[in-house]
Amino acid sequence: MTLRQQQALHVGIAGLGAVGLPVARWLDDRANNHGLKLAAVSARNLEMAEKKVAGFKKVPPVVEINQLIEVSDIVVEGLPPEIFEELAEPTIAQGKILIVMTLTSLMKRLDLIDKAKETGAIVIAASGALVGFDGVRAASKGKIDSVLMKTRKPPLGLKKAPFVLEMGIDMNSLTEPLLLYKGTVREAAAKFPANVNVAVALALAGVGLDNTEYEIWADPGVSRNLHNITVEADAVSLNLDIANVPSEVNPATGKLTPLSAIATLERLVAPFTVGT
C-alpha cells in the first residue's frame, strides 16, 4: 500500500517556533483536504504551545514528545538542539517518518540513519532555505570536484551564535562586512548551530561534511539571508544565489524554511511531483 492509498496521514509537529507554527497553521487551514491531518503538537513549554494553537479552527492536542510520536505517522522536527535526540531516537525506533529541520543536530547523530534502515523509518532532511539540492544530489552520482557555500546574514541573526558570544563580537557596532568563519561545514556547525542547517543539508546532499567548504559573514549592508553555492563537477557547474527574507520570529531562520517543510509534506501524498 502506498502512502497515498492510506487514509490521511497523521502529522505531529514538534516545536512551535519559526518553522513549526506556520506548518501547523497550514495543516489546520487545509484540514482533511490533502491526505494529511494535524494529529498533535508538542514543544518544550506546553503551556505556551497551548496559547499558540488556541485560535486554530480545530485545536490540536498539545502533548509530551513521547505521546506526539505515538499518535503520528509523520513527525516534523523544529526543536532546540538540546532536545533533538529525545524526539529523533524514539521516532526512528518506532519506524515513523521524521522530517528534520535542525540538520546540525542530525549531523551529530548520523548513526540514526543506520537505525532507520533496521526499523523501516524514513529520515527526510528538508531543503530549508536553499534550492538546487536535486542538482547537487544528481551530480554526486558522478564526480564532484568541489562545493563552496558563502553565507551573508544581517548581524541581528548572528548575535546569539556560540562563536560570536565566545569571541565577544558586538554585532550592533558593525559598519562593514565581517568574515566570521571559513572552513569545513563540520566545524562551522559547532560554532553556528542555528545558522548553518542549510550548509549541513548541502553537505549531506553532496560530498560530505568535511569536503564542503563554507564561509559565513555578518553584513550590516544586507537585509536578507544571502547564500551563494558553487559546485564544480564532471557533469555540471552550478552557481546558485539565494536571498531569503528572515523570519520576524527568528531572524536566523528564513521565511522559506517552513514553506520547505510544507512542500515536503505535500510531496509525500501528491499524485505528481517535480524534481529528483
Which residues are CB-contacts of 165 (< 8 A; sequence separation ≥ 6)? none
Tell me whether residue 34 is one of the annotated catalytic residues.
no
Strand 122-125 versus strand 74-77 pairing type: unpaired
Average pLDDT of adjacent 10-residue blocks, the chain of 276 residues: 66 96 94 82 97 96 98 96 95 98 92 97 90 91 97 92 94 96 95 89 94 97 94 96 90 88 93 84
For residue 233, what is its C-alpha cell? 563537477
Concatenated DSSP letters of 31-91: TTSSSEEEEEEE-S-HHHHHHHTTTSSSPPPB--HHHHHHH-SEEEE---GGGHHHHHHHH
> What's the pLDDT score for residue 3?
52
Q: Which fold has domain 133-244?
A: Dihydrodipicolinate Reductase; domain 2 (3.30.360)
Q: Please give the CATH superfamily to which domain 3-129+256-269 belongs.
A: NAD(P)-binding Rossmann-like Domain (3.40.50.720)
> What's the pLDDT score for residue 1?
42
Biggest alpha carbon–alpha carbon distance for the chain: 58
DSSP-derived letter for residue 19 is T
Residue of 103, 227, 244, 264 marked active site: 227
3-129+256-269 and 133-244 in the same fold:
no
**Domains of the chain: which residue ranges?**
3-129+256-269, 133-244
* Nearest-angstrom CA–CA distance, 232 and 147: 7
* Nearest-angstrom CA–CA distance, 9 and 98: 13
Asked if residue 164 lies in contact with residue 170, where contact means CB atoms within 8 angstroms, the answer is: no
Nearest to 132 by CA among 120, 144, 119: 144
Residues 250-261 have pLDDT tens digits of 887 889 999 999
> What's the pLDDT score for residue 208?
95
